[in-house]
Structures are given as structure tokens and as C-alpha cells.
Homo-oligomer: A and B are copies of this chain.
């Protein structure tokens, strides 16, 4: 499995290591695709939250598993390739990515690894059907999302 940001720093330096290399993909397309990934994870996070934390929807194990698998699969899909140089808000409209992202690649890598670990753990825990454990793993995944939002996403 590719990690979310695994190899990103290297990719930024070499313009290779991705199936559609930065050189081949328009910055606008990369932003479109990465926002699609986060948007889709958001829907699935919302389903898990509603069923396990808020309890505003009935708990449905199959739906939780499907949602957690979707989040993990998106996280594992190599989204680091969708962060080409120059794809921040100082250079492109329609993104909230701060330019600091590209000045802190080591931290970005750690945040990405933490997120991937949390998303994969959520999928593992979802398979057990243990509602309280899922709620906990969901919270940890949300915190891992927030770590990047707090640092690198503009309000």
C-alpha cells in the first residue's frame, strides 16, 4: 500500500515516483482530485460519526465497515502525488493549502503517516463491529485529519 504522503518529499524533488508524474498533471487537476478524495472521506466520516458518536442514526455494521474501508482506501491511494509544487493558495485559486506545506515536508510526511495509520486502524476496528471502539478509532482519525488542517489549511 502506498502511504498518503510516502515519497512525497522525494517526488517533489524528482518529479517522478508517481504514476501520473507532476510534470504530466496540471496543478488544477491535482487540486480537483485531492479535494474529491477529501470530500469523499468527509461523507464517510460523517456516516461513522452519526452512527457511533452522535448516535443520530441507527448503528449499521455493514455501512460502518464500508465507510471505514473507503476512508482507508482513499488514504492508501498515494494522494501525495496530488501535491505538486506550486499547488498552494499563494499561487492557485480554489485551494486552502498554505504555502508552509511545502516548507515543512518532513512534518507533512509524519502527519500523513499518522493519518494513514489512524485510517487503517479505523478500518480494522470497524470490522469488529464494536461501537465504542469504533467511536474511539473515529476520534483518533479525526484528530489526525485536524493535525494537518490546523497547520496547513487556511480557515
Contacts and interface: CB of A to CB of B under 8 A. Distances in A.
Interface of A: 1-2, 18-21, 24, 32-33, 35-40, 42-44, 46-47, 50-51, 56-58, 60, 62-63, 65-67, 69-70, 72-74, 76-78, 82
Contact of A70 (B44, B62, B73, B82): B73
Contacts of A57: 19-21, 24
Contacts of A33: 39-40, 42-43
A87 to B, nearest CB: 14
Oligomeric state, in copies: 2
A73 B72 CA distance: 9
Contacts of A19: 47, 50-51, 57-58, 60, 63, 67
Contact of A1 (B24, B43, B47, B62): B62
A30 B60 CA distance: 20
Given A19-B57, A43-B36, A1 B73 contact: no
